[in-house]
C-alpha cells in the first residue's frame, strides 16, 4: 500500500547497487528532478536522505531510484550475524586463484609450454566474465539509461583486453606452439599480436580487491555508531504487582518502574525512585569517573549500574531516549555533505565522460602516429582503468563517518558536515558563565533579611516565586526550602527576575537594579552594601520584595567547573580569543573570569544582548563560536557561526546549536573544535591526493608509460589510501586524556 508522507518529511532509504561515487551522483540527480524533492545520496553509507513534499510518497522515490537502475528500500534493522561482504569475498578468492597462474605464465617464460595461451584463456575467461560481472552489469545498466560511471571504464577496459586476446589467439596467430611472450610491462612487441589475458584477469582481481577493502573499511568506519546504538539493554525487569517481570525493552512505557541490578545496563531514560548507586556514564559522555545517583536523580539508558540496586521510573522510551537522539544526530551528520564534498561531486559527475573521450583520443592518436594497434590498445585500456573517481567520492564521507563516530564516543555530537567548515574559520569564542564555565549548581550561601524581617520568611517567599523558573539561581532557592508553596501566577523577565503571586501577595525576586528601575522598589543602603560585598566575592545576591519593600537578600554561590581553566588555556593555544558573557553582575563575572584566565568580560547582559554582541562581532569581521546551555543562550547560539550547547542544558539551547556536548565539561568544547578541524584536514588531504592521483596518472597512461595491470593496482590502492587515511581519526584523543 502506498503511503504519503507529511510535508517536507525527511526519509532515509537504503540504496542497493551503487559501485562508485558516480552512481551516487546519478541517483541524487534523478531524485532531485522530482517536483519538490530534495535528496542527498551518500556513497560511503549507501543511503539517501530524501525530503518529500506533501503528495509525494516514499514509493515514488523508490520507483525513481529503480528506474535509474538501482535498488532502494526503507532501512531494516541490521542482522549482526549477516556477513554482507561474503559474496564479494567469494568472487575475489575464486578470481585470484584463477588469475595467479595466468599472470605467472605471462611473467615467467620458463613456465610457458606449447599451447599455454589456450590454457590461459580457459583460466582467464571466468575471471573476465563472472569475476568482473559486477562491473559489466553496472556498466550495462548505466548504458541503458544513457550514462557512464567508473564501472563503465573498468568494464570497457576488461572487455577490450579480452576481445583483443581472443582476436590475437584465433586470427592473429599468437596461440601457436612457437609463440613466446614476456610480461606486457617490459617485453618488446613481437611480429605476432600479443594477447592481454593477464591484463583482463589481473585488473579484475585488483579492482575486486580494492572494492573488498573499501567494503571492510566502510564497515569499520561506521562501527562506532553501530556500537553506540547496540549499547542499550535488550530486556528490563519491570515491577508488576510487586513482582519483577522480565520484558523486552521495546515494550517499556513511560511511567513503568524497573529494577537495575549491579553490572546491568539501565534499560531506558528515567528517574531513580529507590536506591543509591554509582553509574558508569562513559558510553554516553566519555567521562570515566562513575556518577553517584540516588532518589530523584536522572539516569540515562545504556549507562551501567556499577554499585547498588536501583529502582527507576521510565521517563523516555524508544525513539525519544537520549541514546536514540544521539544516534539520530550522528546519522544526520554522516549522511550530509560539506561544501568540499559538493565540489568533488561536481567533478566526478563529469569525470567519466571526459575519461571516455580521453581514452578514445589516446587510441586514435596512437594509431595515427604509430600505426601500432597493440600499443594503442595498451594505452587506451590503461587510461580507462587508471581513471577512477572512487577516491574522490570516498574522500569526504569516509572521513565524516569516522570523525563523527569518534565524536559520539567522546560525547560530541556534530549536527552536520557544514559545521566542519565553520569550525575551521572560528577566531572568537563567547562563553556563557553559568552552567558552562561554572558548574551551574548554585547553592544558597546566606540570607540577609532587612531590619525587622525574618530570614526564613524571605527565603520561603523567594523560593515560591522562583519555583516556576528553570534558572540555576531559582533552582538553588527552591532546593533550600522544603515543601515550597506553588505560586498562583508566574511571570519571568529573562535575565532580570521574576514576579509571582504567592498566597495572594505579589512577590518580586531579581536583580536589585531591576526592582529599582522596573518596580520603583529601592534596596536599603545596608543591603546595597551587602550586594556589593557579595559581588566582590564572586557571589550573586538577589533581592526579594513584596508590598513595595525589599524584605531581604538571598546570596547564592557558584563554583568554577572542573577543567574550565584548562579548557580556556587550550582554546588560547588553538589561536582563539575568548570572552565571558553573563547576566550576572560585573564583580561576579570578573571573579570567575580571573579564575579561568579570560580577560574580556561583558556582564549584566540579557538574552537579546548576547545576540547583539554576536552580530556586532560578526559585523566587525569576526567568526564567532558561542558556548552556552540555557534558554537565554538559544538566540546567540543560533546566530553564531558555530553554536556549541552543553548537553546538560535546555532543549532550546541544544536545538539551536551546531554541536552538542553530552558531558558537562568545557574541555569537550575544545575537543569538538579540535576534532572538527582534524576531520576537515583529513577530508582536504584525501581530496588533494585523489585529485593529484588522477592528474598525474592519466597523462602517464595516455603516453603509454603505464601498463594496464599496474594501472588497475594503482587505482585500487588510491581508494584504499583514502579509506586508511580516514580511519586514522579513530585514534583522536581528548585533551583530558593527555592530547594537546
The catalytic site residues sit at 432
Strand runs labelled E in 69-182: 71-73
Q: Is 139 left (phi over 0), alpha (psi -120 to 50) or beta?
A: alpha
577-581 vs 600-602, strand pairing mode:
parallel
Cα Dmax for the chain: 121
Task: Provide the angle, in degrees to the nearest 10, between the axes of the packed helices 86-107 and 116-126.
Answer: 160
DSSP one-letter code for 528: H
DSSP 632: G
d(C-alpha 295, C-alpha 158), whole Å: 69
Q: How far is CA 576 from the centre of its chain?
A: 24
Instruction: Evaluate whether 148 touches 384 at the Cβ level (below 8 Å).
Output: no
**Is 385 within 8 Å of 202 (Cβ atoms)?**
no
Residues 6+ apart with CB under 8 A from 302: 231, 232, 233, 265, 266, 283, 284, 323
- CA within 13 Å, CB half, 291: 18
| Cα pseudo-dihedral 114, 115, 117, 120, rounded to 10 | -100
Closest CA to 390 of 137, 131, 215: 215
Q: Is the separation of the CB atoms in 515 and 507 below 8 Å?
A: no
Grid cell at residue 249: 525493552
Backbone angles phi, psi at 20, to 5 degrees: -165, 175
Q: In 558-615, at which residue ranges do the beta strands (DSSP E only) sit?
A: 577-581, 600-602
Closest CA to 567 of 638, 677, 666: 666
Phi, psi of 537 (to 5 degrees): -90, 5
- Reported in sequence order, the residue ranges of 163-242 that DSSP labels E, i.e. its strands, are 235-240
Whole-angstrom Cα distance, residue 18 to residue 41? 10
Query: What is the residue-wise DSSP string for 416-472?
Result: -THHHHHHHH--EEEEEIIIIIB----EEEEEEEPTT--HHHHHHHHHHHHTT--SH
Q: Of 349, 431, 313, 266, whose CA–CA distance to 25 is shortest? A: 349
428: part of which helix (H) or strand (E)? strand 428-432
C-alpha cell at 145: 539509461
Torsion, Cα 115 120 123 126, to 10 degrees, reads: -110
Inter-residue contact 603 to 590 (CB < 8 Å) = yes
Amino acid at each position: 500500500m502506498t503511503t504519503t508522507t507529511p510535508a517536507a518529511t525527511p526519509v532515509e532509504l537504503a540504496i542497493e547497487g551503487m559501485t562508485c561515487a558516480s552512481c551516487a551522483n546519478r541517483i541524487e540527480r534523478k531524485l532531485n528532478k522530482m517536483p519538490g524533492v530534495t535528496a542527498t545520496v551518500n556513497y560511503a553509507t549507501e543511503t539517501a536522505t530524501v525530503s518529500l513534499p506533501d503528495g509525494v510518497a516514499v514509493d515514488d522515490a523508490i520507483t525513481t531510484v529503480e528506474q535509474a537502475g538501482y535498488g532502494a528500500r526503507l532501512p531494516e534493522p541490521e542482522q549482526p550475524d549477516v556477513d554482507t561482504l561474503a559474496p564479494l569475498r567469494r568472487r575475489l578468492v575464486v578470481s585470484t586463484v584463477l588469475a595467479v597462474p595466468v599472470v605467472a605464465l605471462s611473467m615467467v617464460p620458463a613456465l610457458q609450454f606449447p599451447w599455454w595461451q589456450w590454457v590461459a584463456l580457459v583460466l582467464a575467461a571466468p575471471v573476465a566474465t563472472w569475476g568482473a560481472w559486477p562491473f559489466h552489469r553496472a556498466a550495462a545498466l548505466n548504458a541503458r539509461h544513457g550514462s557512464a560511471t567508473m564501472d563503465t571504464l573498468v568494464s570497457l577496459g576488461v572487455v577490450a583486453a579480452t576481445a583483443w586476446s581472443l582476436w590475437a589467439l584465433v586470427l592473429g596467430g599468437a596461440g601457436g606452439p612457437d609463440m613466446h611472450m614476456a610480461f606486457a610491462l617490459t617485453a618488446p612487441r613481437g611480429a605476432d599480436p600479443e594477447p592481454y589475458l593477464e591484463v583482463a584477469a589481473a585488473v579484475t582481481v585488483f579492482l575486486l580487491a580494492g572494492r573488498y577493502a573499501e567494503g571492510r573499511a566502510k564497515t569499520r568506519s561506521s562501527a562506532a555508531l553501530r556500537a553506540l546504538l547496540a549499547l542499550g539493554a535488550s530486556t528490563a525487569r519491570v515491577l508488576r504487582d510487586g513482582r519483577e517481570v522480565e520484558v523486552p525493552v521495546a515494550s517499556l512505557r513511560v511511567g513503568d518502574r524497573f529494577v537495575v541490578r549491579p553490572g546491568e545496563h539501565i534499560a531506558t531514560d528515567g528517574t531513580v525512585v529507590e536506591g543509591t548507586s554509582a553509574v558508569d556514564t562513559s558510553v554516553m559522555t566519555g567521562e570515566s569517573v562513575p556518577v553517584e545517583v540516588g532518589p530523584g536523580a536522572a539516569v540515562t539508558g545504556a549507562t551501567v549500574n556499577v554499585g547498588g540496586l536501583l529502582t527507576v521510573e521510565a521517563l523516555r522510551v524508544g525513539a525519544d531516549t537520549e541514546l536514540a537522539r544521539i544516534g539520530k544526530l550522528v546519522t544526520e551528520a554522516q549522511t550530509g555533505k560539506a561544501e568540499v564534498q559538493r565540489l568533488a561531486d561536481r567533478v566526478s559527475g563529469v569525470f567519466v565522460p571526459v575519461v571516455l573521450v580521453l581514452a578514445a583520443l589516446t587510441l586514435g592518436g596512437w594509431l595515427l602516429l604509430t600505426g601500432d594497434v597493440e600499443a594503442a590498445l595498451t594505452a587506451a585500456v590503461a587510461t580507462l582503468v587508471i581513471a577512477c573517481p572512487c577516491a574522490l567520492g570516498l574522500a569526504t564521507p569516509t572521513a565524516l563517518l569516522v570523525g563523527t563516530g569518534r565524536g559520539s564516543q567522546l560525547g560530541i555530537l556534530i549536527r552536520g558536515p557544514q559545521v566542519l567548515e565553520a569550525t575551521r574559520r572560528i577566531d572568537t569564542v563567547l562563553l556563557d558563565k553559568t552552567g558552562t564555565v561554572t558548574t551551574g549548581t548554585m547553592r544558597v550561601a546566606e540570607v540577609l533579611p532587612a531590619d525587622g524581617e525574618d530570614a526564613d520568611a524571605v527565603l520561603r517567599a523567594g523560593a515560591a516565586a522562583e519555583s516556576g523558573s528553570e534558572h540555576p539561581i531559582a533552582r538553588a532557592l527552591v532546593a533550600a526550602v522544603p515543601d515550597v508553596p506553588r505560586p498562583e501566577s508566574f511571570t519571568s523577565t529573562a535575565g532580570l527576575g521574576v514576579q509571582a503571586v504567592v498566597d495572594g501577595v505579589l512577590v518580586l525576586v531579581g536583580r536589585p537594579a531591576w526592582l529599582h528601575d522596573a518596580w520603583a522598589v529601592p534596596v536599603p543602603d545596608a543591603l546595597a552594601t551587602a550586594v556589593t560585598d557579595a559581588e566582590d566575592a564572586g557571589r550573586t545576591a538577589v533581592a526579594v520584595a513584596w508590598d513595595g519593600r525589599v524584605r531581604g537578600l538571598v546570596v547564592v554561590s557558584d563554583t568554577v567547573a572542573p577543567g574550565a581553566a584548562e579548557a580556556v588555556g587550550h582554546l588560547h593555544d588553538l589561536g582563539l580569543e575568548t570572552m565571558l558573557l553573563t547576566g550576572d553582575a560585573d564583580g561576579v563575572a570578573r571573579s570567575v573570569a580571573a579564575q579561568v584566565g579570560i580577560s574580556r568580560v561583558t556582564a549584566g547582559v540579557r538574552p537579546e544582548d548576547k545576540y547583539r554582541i554576536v552580530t556586532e562581532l560578526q559585523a566587525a569581521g569576526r567568526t564567532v563560536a558561542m558556548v552556552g546551555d540555557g534558554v537565554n543562550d538559544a538566540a546567540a547560539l543560533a546566530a553564531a557561526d558555530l553554536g556549541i550547547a552543553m548537553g546538560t542544558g535546555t532543549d532550546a539551547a541544544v536545538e539551536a546549536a551546531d554541536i552538542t556536548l553530552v558531558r558537562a565539561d568545557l574541555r569537550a568544547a575544545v575537543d569538538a573544535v579540535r576534532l572538527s578541524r582534524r576531520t576537515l584536514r583529513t577530508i582536504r588531504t584525501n581530496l588533494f591526493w585523489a585529485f593529484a592521483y588522477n592528474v598525474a596518472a592519466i597523462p602517464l597512461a595516455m603516453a603509454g608509460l603505464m601498463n594496464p595491470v599496474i594501472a588497475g593496482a594503482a587505482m585500487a590502492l588510491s581508494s584504499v589510501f583514502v579509506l586508511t587515511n580516514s580511519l586514522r581519526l579513530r585514534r583522536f584523543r581528548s585533551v583530558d586524556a593527555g592530547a594537546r
